[in-house]
Chain A
Amino acid sequence: MSSTTNRSAARRAYGRYAVRRLAQAVAVVLLAYVFTFLVISVLPGDPVSNVLRDPQNNFSEQEIARIVAYYGLDQPIWVQLVEALSRFVVGDLGVSLRSNLPVSGLLADVLPSTLRLAGAALAVALVLAFAIAFGVRNLPAPLARPLRAFPSLFLSVPNFLIGLVLIQWFSFQLGLFLVIDAESLLATFFAAVALGIPVSAQIAEVLIANLDHEARQEYAAVARSRGLGRARLFTAHLLKPSSLPVVTVVALTVGELLGGSLITETIFGRNGVGNLVQRSVATQDLPVLQAVVALAAVVFVVVNLVADLVYPLLDPRVRLDASPARTKEVSA
């Protein structure tokens, strides 16, 4: 086989692969949307009459029925589902049942805060993880050994506790930031520290394990035998191959950072996606929940796709060749 046919075959395979991945992605997002609808629909009550039934409101059942009809919640479930889906496919996320505001506007309100927090937390996590890994490999044993315990320690301290302690010290005692100005630079930084610490543990664990593995390889022994110092060996030889699996971990934790920030947002009084979800879950605000789940599905799909695409760039041994089995291995 000549190399040109080989290359065009690979390109065709890649095309098929890309189309399949894209179709999968769309299916995942749609299924997430429908699944959310079904799960919320089986819960008793609906968001509108739940609020109206508060005895303070003093509404009769007839009045409640008329109001519920305005929101279309008296329709059979499948009619509501078809309506929601036909809106969704043309990009209309609908109107929140709780706030009467367009869902797209509500998302636009909270996304920047969550993106800032998640981005900063990821940066904190990466810096911490690489610092710990560097220390473990380069510090003298009496210091390096306890450092190895840090990831497990970070994982076992709940982050709301870290958050409350940070607020207590840095806001209430030292006055470095105000809890009522949650989006300020320092407030965001400390929230990112609270959220980033547990995430750094996951990255550090993977990084340390891989560094240990690489350090046992022949090339490392050769480098050491040629008199290379610890720090030089670390930066010049061990770090790059050990960082590869970190990409996969980061891809997984991005989802966690976006979705798992609820507690941090609540403690730090930040108005992010997590808080919007909390408000919406408490009131069964279906259109908002469906939009957030669909958004989360999009984020996961995109991040995983990007990780798959970045992988071959970091490691020339990984190639998207014609065999689907091979590509699956890579993406896993």
Chain B
Amino acid sequence: MTIPRSPRRLRAGRAATATAGLLATLMVAAGCSAGGTQSQAGGEPQEGGDLVFLIDSLGPTWVPNNSSISSFQGHIWGHLTDKLVYVDENGTVSPWVAESWDQNEDATQFTLKLKDGVTFSDGSPVDAAAVVANLDIWARGDVERGINPIGLFPKTYVSAEALDDLTVQVDFVAPTLGFIPTLGYHGSILISPETLAAPAEEQADLANDIGSGPFVVESWTEGDEVVLKKRDDYDWAPEALDHDGPAYLDTLTYKVVAEPSVRTAAVQSGQAQVAYNPSPQELEFYGEQGFTVAAPRYLGFVNGYAINTQVAPFDDVRVRQALQVGIDRDEILSTVYTDDWLPAASFIQSNVPGATDHSDALVHDPEAAAALLDEAGWVEGSDGVRTKDGQRLSFTLHPNPYLATSQAVDELVAQQLAELGFDVDIQAYDVITFGERVSFANPSIPTYEVTRSFIDAGTVAGVLTDAENGENWFNVGQSDPTLTELAQDVATATTTEERDPVLDELQGYVLDRAYFVPLTQIAQRLYLQSPDVQGVTYNGVAYANYYTAWLAE
């Protein structure tokens, strides 16, 4: 009698991942003729049509506060809801539901004027009271009801008050220049107060979550698909999007297809219009086939190492500086990435307002690196690894599990540094173990590989030192008076004009002291798109917006 063959099944499952890549190539080759039809871009926008977006997952819960910043659900929230302000891919803030705003002199009090006539899809008004309810829940959540706060909302928030139907006053304990840009962040979605008052179990049913966006939920199945249909009376899009009234598309379907090669092949065969997260290796091929590849950058930190300055060998600034100029960033770009990725010019992405060009500090210079290490007393031994007082010049890298290319980048860095006499070990963890073992300012973690988005450069002030519950990324505490003062000045600036020069000085200083060693700028959200899809816009956190999109037939 045959025994159930579960062990074999398990092995097959693991092999599936490997072989799927191979098969993707086969499918691509087989479908060439079908995908060759190129309709050229341009022409007048056309009404109607259904767009299908294939996505790897629809994430965990749909409780708005607990899911709005998810890389998956964020796509749906962006179409179901509006925000108070719009932030474009260059970080420029412009009016949306908030028509205008004011701040007091020390940036601790803001007044928002709301657009008249905006309604949630159940007909209730998006008025001052509704905005206050949203601000409160973003800032504090309601943990006793299972509603998390929005982690990136300014912790300096005190309260909000409706002055009249369309005016909201917001108070902070300290200058909070980042408040207005944060309102355009993916966490700051406007939800009807009625939904917000419901228990988590009800909010977790997407059909109960009422927004004011250009689309509403038509149907959804947990973990499978979400179908959105356009709202005919929508008429309050951000001016920056250059489109009034309802969306062009009739429906927008987000469908889970876990297998990446099936997602891309389905777009190629015309069954769907967009595939999310195609594997970077496939991009060049599809680009040549006439498909659109979009790799928009988000606003945030670049991908790079935050160095723990209290851990040998990085307690010596010269070793850190050797690392800064010892890494060949161009080689990383040409080996691991495609042309869609940009070199780092600072430790924040170059599209962040206030980011300045410090690429001079990041030029590959192996001679300078070797000289720095010599000067610091690290002598090359017979095996090519430098030593000092019997200690080897070695440290461990922990690839960031949230960035797919991280391990490949770390392996290349390890090779590059080996030529300088470093002995670099790589220890990769899964998401759970990484979360438990790898943290900033941890005595056993010499480098923390950063990938994090933010909407306002003021966020930077909160990570540099341990002042004001800062995250202390470099484990310097407040021992470096220059850094402490610069961070303080960024945090307390009351206008961007005042802040920008400080930010520039800060970026130069952090890179010069090699507290942060940047690698490349990040394009974390990738889209493979049929050439029929026109007019897509991308916001400051790299989400595709199909409100402005239309299908050319």
Interface residues, chain A, with chain B CB atoms under 8 Å away: 43-45, 49-60, 63, 66-67, 69-71, 95, 98-102, 106, 109, 155, 158-161, 164, 167-168, 171-173, 175, 178-180, 202, 205-206, 245, 248-249, 252-253, 255-256, 259-260, 262-263, 266-267, 269, 271, 275-276, 279, 283
Residues of A within 8 A of B255 (CB): 180, 269
Residues of B within 8 A of A167 (CB): 262, 265
Partner of A98 from B4, B60, B256, B432 at Cβ < 8 Å: B60
Which residues in A have their C-beta under 8 angstroms from that of B149? 59, 63
- B15 contact set on A, CB distance < 8 A: 158
- A260 and B271 within 8 A (CB): no
Residue pair B23, A271 in contact (C-beta under 8 Å)? no
Binds A, one of B86-94, B199-207, B355-363: B199-207
Tell whether, in the assembled complex, residue A180 and residue B63 are in contact, meaning their CB atoms are under 8 Å apart.
no
A99 touching B1, Cβ below 8 Å: no
Q: Which of B1, B26, B152 has the most chain A CB atoms closer than 10 A to its own CB?
A: B1
Q: Is the interface of B mostly helix, strand, loop or mixed?
A: mixed
Q: How far, in angstroms, from A206 to B259 measured CA to CA in the complex?
A: 34
Pick the most buried of B9, B61, B66, B262: most chain A CB atoms within 10 A of its CB.
B262
The answer on a CB contact under 8 Å between B223 and A249 is: no
- Whether the Cβ atoms of B402 and A55 lie closer than 8 Å is yes
With A99-B222, A172-B31, A179-B262 as contacts: A249 and B402 at CB distance below 8 Å = no
Mind listing 21 A-B residue pairs with CB under 8 Å? Answer: A55-B402, A58-B151, A63-B149, A67-B148, A70-B146, A99-B60, A100-B62, A109-B221, A161-B23, A164-B261, A173-B34, A175-B269, A179-B262, A179-B266, A179-B271, A180-B54, A180-B257, A267-B262, A269-B256, A271-B224, A275-B224
Q: Which residue of B lies closest to A177 (CB)?
A: B271
> Are the CB atoms of A60 and B1 closer together than 8 Å?
no
B200 touches A100 (CB 8 A): yes
A171 touches B269 (CB 8 A): yes
Known: A160-B16, A266-B259, A275-B223. A52 touches B453 (CB 8 A): no
User: Hey, which chain B residues are within 8 Å of A55, CB to CB?
Assistant: 402, 450-452
Query: Which residues from chain A contact B19 at a C-beta distance below 8 Å?
Result: 158, 160-161
Interface members, chain B 336-379 (any A CB < 8 Å): none
Q: How far is the CA of A115 from the CA of B6 in the complex (A)?
A: 20
Cβ contact within 8 Å between A283 and B60: yes
Contacts of A161 in B (CB 8 A): 19, 23
Residue B30 is within 8 A (CB to CB) of chain A in the complex: yes
Q: Does B12 belong to the interface (CB within 8 Å)?
A: yes
Q: A16–B400 Cα gap in the complex (Å)? A: 60
Q: Which 6 A-B pairs have the closest CB atoms?
A: A100-B204, A58-B151, A271-B224, A53-B435, A172-B269, A158-B12
Chain B residues whose C-beta falls within 8 Å of the C-beta of A173 in the assembled complex? 30-31, 34, 269
Centre residue among A171, A180, A256, A271 by max chain B CB count within 10 A: A180
A168 to B34, CA, bound (A): 12
A179 touches B257 (CB 8 A): yes
- Decide if B271 touches A263 in the complex (CB within 8 Å): no
Q: Are A44 and B69 in contact (CB under 8 A)?
A: no
Q: Quick check: A59 and B151 within 8 Å, CB to CB?
A: yes
Nearest neighbor of B24 in chain A, beta-carbon distance:
A164
Q: Apart from A59-B149, A171-B269, A173-B269, what are 20 other A-B pairs with CB-CB below 8 Å?
A: A52-B148, A54-B402, A56-B452, A60-B469, A99-B60, A100-B203, A101-B201, A109-B222, A160-B19, A164-B262, A168-B23, A172-B31, A172-B265, A172-B269, A179-B257, A180-B255, A255-B4, A259-B6, A260-B6, A260-B9
Per-residue CB contact flags for chain B residues 57-83 toward chain A (1 = under 8 Å, else 0) read 100111100100100000000000000
Cβ < 8 Å to A, chain B residues 406-439: 431-433, 435-436
- B272 & A180 in contact (Cβ 8 Å cutoff): yes
The answer to the question of B52 belonging to the interface, with a C-beta cut-off of 8 Å to chain A, is yes
CB <8 Å contact, B146 and A100: yes
A153 CB, min distance to chain B CBs, angstroms: 15
Task: Tell me which residues across on chain B come within 8 A of A99, comparing CB atoms.
Answer: 60-62, 204, 222-223
A171 touches B12 (CB 8 A): no
A255 vs B4: C-alpha distance when bound (angstroms): 9
Nearest residue (CB) in A for B66 is A100
Q: Which residues of B contact A100 (CB under 8 A)?
A: 61-63, 66, 146, 200-201, 203-204
B151 near A44 with CB under 8 A, answer no
